[in-house]
Structure 1
Amino acid sequence: MRTFNNGIKLGLTIIGTTIGAGFASGREIWEFFSSYGTKSTIGIIISMMIFAISSVFITWISYKYKTDNYYEVLEILMGKTLAKIFDGLIFLYLFSGSIVMFAGSGATFEQWDFSFLFGVGILAIAVWLVLVFGVNGLIIMNSILIPILITIIISVTFQYNLSNQYFSGEYIRSHLKVWPSSITYTALNMISLLGVLSTMGKKIRSTTEMIIGGIFAAVFLGIVALMLNIALLKVEFVQQYEIPLFSLIPSHQTFLLILVTIVLWFAIYTTVLSNIHGLVHRVQMKWNYSANKISILIIISVIPLTFIGFSTLVKVLYPIYGVLNLYLLAVLLLYPFQTSR
């Protein structure tokens, strides 16, 4: 039973790392799956299968070699030379992703007439309070928040699907095959997963825990993704919504709108928590400071940058990350089959 419980906690941490604002808002589900039409269901199933396998592989490497951060896993996967190049890119990815999440928190609070800085500050305090407790704090927080987040999303999508029976039939990529998008979507999540799961090796007691965690995460992410996907397939002109999840809620249901806003903030919170957790453990490898001091330093570095426009940063970095993620996914999936291992 203890092994099972630890596996579930690991699974919730994997979900918390993956189910960011893009996923929870429905934006990622629309872009990568729903826009391909009814065949998107197959795409989600393919993606979740790859997701489960890759999550288990990262955790297994961390468990086998007792790694403390993502750089150690990179060295094992691709050798020192490539690991150094990827190390810098992954650090930038996690750092810039954290900036975007902090800005997202500020924007969320602005929607309800609070100041942008107040939203950024609330997130900063919430992140620091958890990271003080290291890996245990991350696991505990995900164990509390993720079941709430999943329950609310499933409730909203179930209610919408119950009252809307017909598909809209307007899908901008219905003429394309969905499986390449499934691989791209899984690759998109690899860096954040690597940042967190590479620190879990010393906490895991058996391979059973990581298998339970990987399968649990993939199944529940798959259920949420499928429920969201079916609902979005029924919304007319869904591509016009910046946050597709809001298209599932009648405008007069203010309480539900507030609830969904809270869900989106939780999704931002769990993602930035995982990103900064990965950064802290990487920095500790170079400088022997406490996690508390490094967390504060990173958060203080991020906050001023939330006020700058990031369109240029995104345009330059994201294409690089696309190639980086696909390469990392390929190396990871092939690793157990290398004859020299």
Structure 2
Amino acid sequence: MWKAGVKWLFLILGTMIGAGYASGRELWQFFGDESGLAILLFVIMFTISCIVILTLSYEKQSTDYLSVLEAIVGKRLVRLYDYMIILYLFTTTVVMIAGSGATVQAFQLNYWWGVFFITVILIILFIKDIDAVLSINQYIIPLLLVGLMFVLLNFTIHHNLPLFSPWNEQRNWMAAFPFTALNVLPLVAVLGAIGSKVRSKGEIWIASVGSGLTFGIISYIYNNSLIQIADEILLYEIPLFAILNNYSTNMLVFMSILLWIAIFTTAAAGMLGIVTRMKRFIQSPIWVLVVGSLLLMLPLTMFGFSTLISYIYPAYGILNLYILTRLVLYPIFKSA
């Protein structure tokens, strides 16, 4: 049970810690000053959402997200949110591919080399089928989390930053709702595809509570660090590089590799949600569907990483508030 629960925990983390989150751009878009309460509310709502999605997926033994989505939003809205999830997965995977390009630019390399590299690796990964996507998170996500926490804690200690700032003013608490709403939609798509692989409810609680606490701790420390360099963030497409500005080249290279891994795992998870849904009406090998999807995505990456995040993420955060409300209140609806 524990081993399986940790596997789903890493799948959740791999889905969420993508280019937007690991780079700091997504956190800065929603949080910033006076956001301690907002992050706490995010942890609570995110954990409840994971429990509900995984429980529904497990009960329905689902292999794609459609039946889980219908149970959450109802038959009337399931088609609308089905299209929205496909569009969300498509556009955020575009953001991930653009993030790969932005990462290699930090080393004075051409943007399109990063785009080309992640495209090829995604195709190779899906030739090995879905299990390769699930298993890869078990190895690379722990390394990513350790590396990110090391940099953030080192930055905190080096600059004598307080881990717990006064909570007298928490005027940004409302940001918790669009931020959580943004992040639960891909979970419906990805976790809805693995219901047939979940074996017990114990796995669900381990994955949900573990991922919620992990995200809460990292988000709080990361946001606290970004507040200290607010003036410098404007100069960087990837805020994490502003934190790494005074570190050695070796550390910059190491964290860039970890950032790219975060980008890759989220792109892979998003692609998993897309192709498992597409297989309902297109009977082709998964890797063929991946190639077709990537060919449609590549032209859109020319808009750039930070531009895509600044427009797409807030929009989805607002549009997804209904599905977040349904998830958080689902235990009440079910018992009524």
Provide the TM-score with structure 2 as the length reference. 0.89
Report the equivalent of 2:216: 222
Inter-partner Cα distance in structure 2 for 1:109 and 1:197: 31
Cα distance per residue 1:33-74 (max 9 Å; x no partner): 3332xxx33322221121111011111111111222222222
Inter-partner Cα distance in structure 1 for 2:246 and 2:254: 13
Give the aligned residue type for 1:302.
Answer: M
Report the equivalent of 2:9: 11
Report the equivalent of 1:97: 92
2:239 to 236, 241, 244: 244
**1:134/1:277 contact within 8 Å kept:** no
Cα distance per residue 1:245-284 (max 9 Å; x no partner): 2232244611111122222211211111111110001101
Give the CA deviation at 1:287.
1.7
Is 1:121 aligned with 2:116?
A: yes
Inter-partner Cα distance in structure 2 for 1:63 and 1:8: 16
> How do residues 1-341 of structure 1 correspond to structure 2 at under 5 angstroms?
3-36=1-34, 40-166=35-161, 177-235=171-229, 237-242=231-236, 243-251=238-246, 253-307=248-302, 321-339=316-334
Inter-partner Cα distance in structure 2 for 1:309 and 1:28: 15
Inter-partner Cα distance in structure 2 for 1:197 and 1:261: 28
Inter-partner Cα distance in structure 1 for 2:289 and 2:19: 25
**1:152/1:260 contact within 8 Å kept:** yes
Give the aligned residue type for 2:321.
Answer: L
Give the CA deviation at 1:235.
3.2
**Secondary structure, aligned partner of 1:42:** helix
Give the CA deviation at 1:146.
0.8
Inter-partner Cα distance in structure 2 for 1:251 and 1:314: 26
Please provide the CA RMSD for this pair: 2.8
Give the CA deviation at 1:162.
1.2
Give the aligned residue type for 1:177.
Answer: R
Give the CA deviation at 1:22.
1.7
Give the aligned residue type for 2:217.
Answer: I
**2:153/2:221 contact within 8 Å kept:** yes
**2:29/2:310 contact within 8 Å kept:** no
Inter-partner Cα distance in structure 2 for 1:15 and 1:191: 14
**2:36/2:170 contact within 8 Å kept:** no
**2:37/2:170 contact within 8 Å kept:** no
**Secondary structure, aligned partner of 1:189:** helix
Inter-partner Cα distance in structure 2 for 1:24 and 1:318: 14
Give the aligned residue type for 1:164.
Answer: H
**2:95/2:308 contact within 8 Å kept:** no
Unaligned runs of 5+ in 2: 163-167
Unaligned runs of 5+ in 1: 168-173
Give the aligned residue type for 1:263.
Answer: L
Change (3 A) 1:142 1:310: closer
Cα distance per residue 1:140-182 (max 9 Å; x no partner): 1111111111111111111111111246xxxxxx966232111
**Secondary structure, aligned partner of 2:103:** helix
Give the CA deviation at 1:306.
2.4
Give the CA deviation at 1:325.
1.1
